[in-house]
Amino acid sequence: MATQIVMDLNGDSRYQFDPRDAEGVARAEKRFKELIGSGFIAAERTPAGDSRQVKSFDPTAKETLFFPRLVGG
């Protein structure tokens, strides 16, 4: 299973999908595009345990974290 983790003011929400399920992948890709479009930043965990920012959907990523852009003031 792959997981999308969305951080927000309330904590986090987790959405899991099976990369072999076309419907689940379509929902996950739609969520990815909507979150990126609304200003979230996406990062995937690498096999070494680090994270790297991503700008396109990868259905094979085990874990994608979305967090809102920080605004300084």
* Tokens matching residue 40: 């979230």
Structurally, at CATH architecture level, domain 2-68 sits in Roll (3.10)
Q: What is the pLDDT along the chain (73 residues), one digit of tens a residue?
A: 999 999 988 899 999 999 999 999 999 999 999 999 999 999 998 888 888 999 999 999 999 999 998 766 5
**Sign of the torsion angle spanned by Cα atoms 67, 30, 43, 45:** positive
**Ranges of each domain in the chain:** 2-68
Integer-rounded Cα radius of gyration of the chain: 12
Predicted TM-score (pTM) of this structure: 0.88
